[in-house]
Amino acid sequence: MFRIQSFQRKQLEFGVDESELDEQALSLTAARNRRALASNGLAHTAAIQIQKKFRGWKKRKEFLIIRQRIVKIQAQWRGHQVRKQYRTIIWSVGILEKIILRWRRKGSGLRGYKSETVSKDPIQQVVPQKEDDYDFLKEGRKQTEERLQKALTRVKSMVQYPEARAQYRRILTVCEGFREKKGCEMVLNSTEEAVEGEDDMVDIDSLLDDDALMSMTFE
C-alpha cells in the first residue's frame, strides 16, 4: 500500500515537471520563431532595397547609352546639313568672285583663263596670269600718304612763322563765330582739352584743304 502511494506521488511530481518543461519548450520555440520572422523581415527589406538600387542603376546606364547614341546621330545630321549649306555658300562665293574678277579685268578673262587671241609678234611678252588684284588699294594708299605728307609740311611751315600762327588764330576765331551764328555746336562734354583738340583738328583740316588761304598766309 505504501509503495503504491509513493509511486503515485512520484508520478504526479514527474508529470508536473514534464508539463512545465513542455511549456518552457513551447515558449522558447515561439521566441525563436519570432526572432526568425524578424530577421527574415529585415533581410527581405534589405533585399528589396538592393534590388531597387540595382534596377535604378541599370536603367540609368541604359538611358545614358541611348542618349549618347541619340546625340551622335543628331551631331551627324547637323554636320551633314551644315556641310550642305557650306557647299552652296562656297559655290555662290566662287560665282561672285569670278564676276568681280571679270568686271575688274574688263573682260580679259577669269582667274586662270587664257585668252584665245594670240599676239602675232613673238617678241611681245605675255601678260602674267598672277597680276596684282589690289593695285587700286596700293594707289589709294599712296595718294593718302602724299596728302598726309603735304599736310604735315604745311603744319610745320605754319608753326615756324609767327604771322602764320596769328593768321590761323584769326581764322579760328572767325570759324567759331560762324558756328555760333549757325547754331552748330561742336563742343563735347568730356574735357576742355579734348574739345580744344577736336576743334583744332577740324579747323586744321579745313585750313589745310584751302590752298588759296595757305598761299596768302605765306606770301
Distance CA 183, CA 196 (A): 18
* Backbone φ, ψ for residue 122 (5° rounding): -70, -20
Q: Please return the burial class of 168, using the count of CB atoms within 10 Å of its CB with bins 0-12, 13-18 and 19+.
A: buried
Which residues are CB-contacts of 111 (< 8 A; sequence separation ≥ 6)? 97, 98, 101
Which residues are CB-contacts of 135 (< 8 A; sequence separation ≥ 6)? none
Q: What is the DSSP string of 195-211?
A: HHHHHHHHHHHHHHH-H
Residue-wise pLDDT for 65-77, tens only, equals 999 999 999 999 9
pLDDT on residue 139: 74
Residue 200 pLDDT exceeds 50: no
Contact (CB, 8 A) for 150 and 211: no
Tell me the domain boundaries of the chain.
63-110, 145-217
More confident call, 176 vs 213: 176
Cell of 57: 542603376
| pTM for the model | 0.29
Residue whose entry in the numeric block shows the C-alpha cell 549649306: 85
Distance CA 157, CA 130 (A): 44
Distance CA 40, CA 104 (A): 94
Contact (CB, 8 A) for 187 and 195: yes
pLDDT on residue 133: 55
More confident call, 127 vs 183: 183
User: What is the CB-side half-sphere exposure of residue 106 using CA atoms within 13 A?
Assistant: 0
pLDDT on residue 63: 95
